[in-house]
């Protein structure tokens, strides 16, 4: 028998993004999982999971197994700058000839609100900038305007999927890793 403190302690080690991914995994297995509330804080999300498993005690073990796998996966992610990668400074980004075309995408609100595309100190491009650009490109690609499609294709041509994979597991406010050879021009 698992205590509430043990269950919530395990889930509290995950980030909000990890909890969302956990919810998505569980939802694919159990379509009755309705624990996610957009905009809720991490403690509220953890309490939502707790309420759900209290009504579904047979799902506790699977939920904890997936949470432990997520934590193990996160431990394997290299900390800091991985070999063959580098951070891009805000000045480098803003000096790119294509920056005027990218600024709208970089500053696009991601999910429930605007995520700062730069680190707290304002020095580096954050992981949020990649997610902002991806959300913007996805939004613009559904436009009826050929001009908007062209803009979305240009931003999507920055290999955003590869950048998201490279930055998987990094907090959204951390400096984003970019290949040392560079994808941005």
Q: What residue ranges do the domains of the chain occupy?
A: 4-75, 85-179
Sequential pLDDT tens for the chain (185 residues): 788 899 999 999 998 888 988 999 999 998 888 888 888 889 999 999 999 988 888 889 999 999 999 888 777 555 666 677 888 899 988 888 888 888 888 888 755 456 788 988 989 999 989 888 888 888 888 877 888 888 888 787 788 888 888 888 788 888 988 888 765 54
Number of H helices, E strands in the chain: 9, 2
Q: What is the DSSP letter of 96?
A: S
* Residue that is written with structure tokens 């956990």 in the block: 22
Q: Are 135 and 111 in contact (CB under 8 A)?
A: yes
């Amino acid at each position: 028998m698992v205590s509430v403190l043990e269950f919530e302690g395990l889930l509290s080690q995950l980030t909000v993004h990890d909890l969302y991914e956990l919810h998505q995994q569980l939802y694919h297995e159990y379509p009755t999982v309705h624990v996610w509330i957009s905009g809720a804080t991490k403690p509220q999300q953890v309490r939502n999971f707790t309420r759900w498993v209290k009504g579904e005690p047979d799902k506790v073990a699977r939920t904890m197994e997936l949470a432990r796998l997520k934590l193990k996966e996160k431990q394997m992610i290299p900390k800091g700058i991985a070999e063959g990668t580098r951070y891009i400074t805000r000045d480098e980004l803003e000096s790119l000839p294509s920056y005027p075309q990218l600024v709208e995408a970089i500053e696009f609100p991601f999910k429930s609100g605007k995520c700062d595309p730069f680190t707290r100190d304002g020095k580096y491009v954050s992981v949020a900038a990649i997610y902002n650009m991806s959300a913007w490109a996805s939004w613009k690609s559904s436009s009826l305007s050929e001009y908007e499609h062209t803009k979305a294709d240009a931003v999507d041509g920055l290999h955003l999927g590869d950048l998201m994979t490279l930055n998987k597991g990094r907090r959204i406010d951390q400096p984003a890793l970019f290949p040392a050879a560079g994808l941005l021009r």
